[in-house]
């Protein structure tokens, strides 16, 4: 190796590099050594530890005469075998002064920086890097500005020495002896514990004036970092000292209390024992609690078992053993409260009044409360007031109210609780609800009882059997408590949308009360008396004069909602109230708002529901049926069409097995009675019939569409339209008889909501007409039939 000058590498003299005039004084080929986390400045002498294979090879092959190398810092110190792209372009030409052999086979060397230089080209990569290196000359012009920058640098470095723990006054003395501004900067930055990138930035700066400015910024930043770190450390230390002081004081206080026999844990246990003895809990529960307390006294407070045992005792003590609220047995007042909160629902209200009357007479006769709480189950579509009725019952009776939703619950432990052997175990939601109520005879509402699931963790429905059985729930046992708790005075009310999915054994334990859908007139009255005043209060409009015309309310009901309950009606009223609130907030001079049909359209936008029934039943093969769903009654369009084929029946629309069989029975009836019905019996072997029920994404099942399917097929084959103002429901037999079906009230209400004026019903459903409101009976016509021939006469022939 040689330091022979290579004139072909760079033309010496001025050369533009990154926008500055750089004077390269000489070029040469030198071995290149990569340094980790270290930047060597010119005129600095530093030790280098050499352990990597390439570095060792470089030292071993070093030219003994000149011993010059190019030292470059790595961009990332974590890289063991850096490539050229992992190294900076600029480094320092250095003289290797001395090499030491280390016991582990590695080496170390003392090197002295000579000049700033740039690697122009790598000429060798193995066994170590070599490259063409161009030395660069500093740019320095003495001036008053440079002198001022030097003075400022010395001052701030003196500040840095005072705050930086790694610098001493000896370092300040080193800088005092350096007069050249460029060397002063190099020495100052070289002494600092700052990132390699910042040191490299100073190394690459050839202009001494610019180097001074950059160094000033770096030193100031380091001072701020150290001062901020010291401030944070001081605050943390203060907090630690405060915490330690509090800890020592608490320990001293505990020691004093122990000496006086007033240890905190002992006092807590004594208080707990007092609560157990004063509680009205059963003898069984008290014996278990005292036994557990005795065990607790032997457990160290620091043990995890202590917390488990203490939590268990707290649950036992906090339950309202023997605590009951006194029932309001003023029948007249109770009825007034029920009427205040709900419009209609007389059947439910009467059942509650009956219960209160029996309770009052029983108490007068026997002088004590012996009436067991009834188990009621409210069945009805969403939004008809099931949950709110439970709250009204609690208010009417003067009892506490607790609500628990079982929708989606799969784990039996949700009802009965977890055994205490499990970490984080708690009582079930029944016991939690009783504790929350603070009395042993609340109104306990179990919502969505028809939506309980079951899986490998157990069946919550089966767990409810004991809870909802008046003959068993006087000794309900929760897995967590492991003692009996009397639930017989609790009035349980369950709610569900549909009764069919409730476990039969569970259904048998409850008294079913059906909540029918509301008629249009009932919805209008509910809106006037309850929904509109409530929404005006909630939107801060009580002081304004806001009037909803009755015609506008009916318009909202007919064109913006189609439901059995009133939830969507309340939402639309809330939408209107928000628009009014916005208008008033922007222009407070207007204080009167009248909501008519035009205002409803303006605030709510286009109608969501349009009555197009007449258009949809304008062709043969289409009939309207009536269905009963979890959301209440609804109308159902049945469409039939024919095509060339071999007599097959195609069914679409996500139909269930029962509905498919109804369709097959309908077609069989028509085939077997084709002569009487006036249909060519030879036609069936030449065509396929396709029956479709629109809204194909919704599953449908049940026997009540049989009459509608048969009418649609008959209409198709006779090429006669079904009357467009008529709906029907009923199960058919192969002999053409019409059998009764359920949900008549909901179905009739659905037909009324849809604007239909005539309904065909099975003769045996005539008794169900009693439940239909009088105003609807006046507006609609009902045809009760026994045979399919009568249906076809009414719907198609006449």
Q: What's the pLDDT score for residue 372? A: 66
Locate the domains of the chain by residue range: 13-137, 139-262, 264-318, 331-514, 520-604, 614-797
pLDDT band, residue 5 (cuts 50/70/90): very low
Contact 760, 727 (CB under 8 A): yes
Cβ contacts of 245 within 8 Å, gap of 6 or more: none
Which of 132, 386, 523, 747 is labelled catalytic?
747
Which of 17-26, 196-205, 668-677, 753-762 is the least confident region?
17-26
pLDDT above 50 for 582: yes
CATH code of the domain made up of 13-137:
2.30.130.40
Q: What's the pLDDT score for residue 263? A: 57
Q: What's the pLDDT score for residue 279? A: 86
Which of 55, 488, 704, 715 is labelled catalytic?
704
CATH code of the domain made up of 614-797:
3.30.230.10
Q: Is 786 a catalytic residue?
A: no
pLDDT digits (tens, 9 = 90+) for 243-270: 787 888 777 776 776 666 555 667 777 8
pLDDT above 90 for 410: no
Q: Is 241 a catalytic residue?
A: no
Tokens of 155: 């001052």
Give how far the C-alpha of residue 376 lies from the chain's centroid of Cα atoms, to the nearest Å.
Answer: 33
pLDDT band, residue 223 (cuts 50/70/90): very high
Q: Domain 139-262, what fold?
A: Methane Monooxygenase Hydroxylase; Chain G, domain 1 (1.20.58)
DSSP state, residue 527 = I
Q: What's the pLDDT score for residue 535? A: 92
DSSP state, residue 639 = E
Q: Is 505 helix (H, G, I), strand (E, B) or coil?
A: helix
331-514, superfamily in CATH? P-loop containing nucleotide triphosphate hydrolases (3.40.50.300)
Rama region for 755: left / alpha / beta (φ>0; ψ in -120 to 50; rest):
left
pLDDT band, residue 503 (cuts 50/70/90): confident
Return the top range by mean pLDDT from 131-135, 391-395, 618-622, 741-745: 131-135
Per-residue burial over 536-564, b = 16 or more CB atoms within 10 Å of its CB, e = otherwise: beebebeeeebebeeebbbbbbbbbbbbb
- pTM listed for this prediction: 0.59
Tokens of 32: 């290149």
> Could you give the CA distance from residue 321 to residue 304 in angstroms, rounded to a whole number?
28
Return the top range by mean pLDDT from 580-594, 631-645, 757-771: 757-771
Q: Does an H or E element contain 717, and which? A: helix 706-718
pLDDT digits (tens, 9 = 90+) for 277-315: 888 888 898 998 889 888 888 888 778 888 888 888 889
**Domain 520-604 -> CATH class:** mainly alpha
pLDDT above 70 for 698: no
Between 248 and 580, the more confident residue is 580
């Amino acid at each position: 190796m040689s330091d022979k000058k290579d004139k072909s590498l760079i033309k010496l003299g001025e050369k533009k590099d990154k926008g500055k005039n750089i004077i390269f004084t000489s070029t040469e080929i030198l071995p290149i050594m990569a340094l980790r986390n270290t930047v060597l400045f010119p005129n600095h002498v530093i030790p280098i530890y050499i352990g990597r294979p390439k570095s060792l090879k470089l030292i071993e092959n070093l030219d003994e005469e000149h011993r010059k190398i190019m030292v470059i810092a790595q961009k990332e110190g974590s890289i063991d075998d850096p490539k050229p792209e992992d190294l900076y372009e600029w480094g320092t030409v250095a003289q290797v002064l001395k090499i030491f052999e280390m016991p582990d086979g590695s080496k170390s060397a003392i090197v002295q920086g000579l000049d700033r230089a740039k690697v122009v080209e790598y000429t060798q990569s193995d066994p170590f890097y070599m490259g063409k290196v161009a030395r660069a000359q500093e740019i320095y012009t003495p001036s008053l500005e440079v002198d001022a920058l030097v003075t400022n640098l010395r001052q701030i470095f003196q500040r840095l020495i005072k705050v930086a723990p790694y610098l001493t006054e000896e370092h300040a003395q080193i800088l005092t002896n350096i007069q050249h501004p460029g060397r002063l900067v190099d020495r100052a930055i070289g002494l600092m514990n700052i990132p390699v990138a910042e040191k490299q930035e100073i190394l690459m700066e050839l202009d001494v004036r610019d180097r001074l400015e950059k160094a000033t910024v770096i030193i100031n930043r380091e001072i701020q970092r150290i001062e901020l770190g010291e401030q944070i450390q001081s605050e943390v230390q203060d907090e630690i000292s405060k915490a330690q002081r509090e800890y020592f004081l608490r320990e001293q206080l505990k020691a004093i209390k122990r000496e006086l026999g007033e240890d905190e844990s002992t006092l807590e246990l004594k208080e707990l024992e007092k609560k157990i003895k004063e509680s009205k809990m059963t003898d069984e529960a008290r014996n278990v609690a005292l036994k557990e307390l005795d065990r607790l006294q032997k457990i160290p407070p620091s043990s995890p078992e202590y917390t488990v045992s203490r939590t268990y005792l707290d649950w036992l003590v906090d339950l309202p053993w023997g605590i009951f609220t006194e029932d309001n047995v003023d029948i007249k007042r109770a009825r007034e409260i029920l009427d205040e909160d709900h419009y209609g629902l007389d059947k439910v209200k009467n059942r509650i009044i009956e219960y209160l009357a029996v309770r009052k007479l029983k108490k007068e006769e026997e002088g004590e409360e012996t009436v067991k709480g009834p188990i009621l189950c409210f069945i009805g579509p969403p939004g008809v007031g099931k949950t709110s009725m439970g709250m009204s019952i609690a208010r009417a009776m003067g009892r506490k109210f607790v609500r628990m939703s079982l929708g989606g619950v799969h784990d039996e432990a949700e009802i009965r609780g977890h055994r205490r052997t499990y970490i984080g175990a708690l009582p079930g939601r029944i016991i939690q609800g009783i504790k929350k109520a603070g009395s042993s005879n609340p109104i306990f509402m179990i919502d969505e009882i028809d939506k309980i699931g079951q899986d490998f963790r157990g069946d919550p429905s089966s767990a409810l059997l004991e809870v909802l059985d008046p003959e068993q729930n006087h000794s309900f046992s929760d897995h967590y408590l492991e003692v009996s708790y009397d639930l017989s005075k609790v009035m349980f009310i369950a709610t569900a949308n549909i009764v069919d999915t409730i476990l039969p054994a569970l259904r048998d334990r409850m008294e079913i009360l059906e909540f029918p859908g509301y008629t249009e007139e009932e919805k209008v009255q509910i809106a006037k008396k309850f929904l509109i005043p409530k929404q005006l209060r909630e939107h801060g409009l009580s002081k304004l004069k806001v009037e909803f015309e009755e015609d506008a309310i009916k318009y909202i009901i007919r064109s913006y909602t189609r439901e059995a309950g009133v939830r969507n009606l309340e939402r639309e009223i809330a939408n209107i109230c928000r628009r009014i609130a916005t208008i008033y907030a922007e222009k407070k001079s207007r204080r009167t708002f009248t909501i008519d049909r035009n205002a409803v359209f303006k605030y709510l936008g286009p109608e969501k529901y349009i009555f197009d029934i007449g258009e949809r039943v304008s062709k043969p093969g289409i009939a309207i049926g009536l269905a009963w769903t979890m959301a209440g009654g609804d109308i159902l369009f049945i469409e039939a069409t024919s095509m060339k084929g071999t007599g097959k029946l195609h069914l679409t629309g996500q139909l269930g097995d029962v509905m498919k069989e109804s369709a097959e029975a309908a077609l069989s009836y028509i085939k077997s009675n084709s002569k009487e019905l006036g249909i060519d019996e030879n036609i069936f072997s030449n065509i396929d019939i396709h029956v479709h029920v629109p809204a194909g994404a919704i599953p449908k099942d049940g026997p009540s569409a049989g009459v509608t399917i048969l009418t649609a097929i008959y209409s198709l084959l006779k090429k006669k339209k079904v009357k467009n103002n008529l709906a029907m429901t009923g199960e058919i037999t192969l002999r053409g008889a019409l059998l009764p079906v359920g949900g008549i009230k909901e179905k009739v209400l659905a037909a009324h909501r849809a604007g239909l004026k005539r309904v065909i019903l099975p003769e045996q459903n005539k008794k169900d007409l009693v439940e239909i409101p009088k105003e609807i009976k006046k507006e609609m016509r009902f045809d009760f039939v026994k045979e399919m021939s009568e249906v076809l006469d009414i719907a198609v022939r006449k």
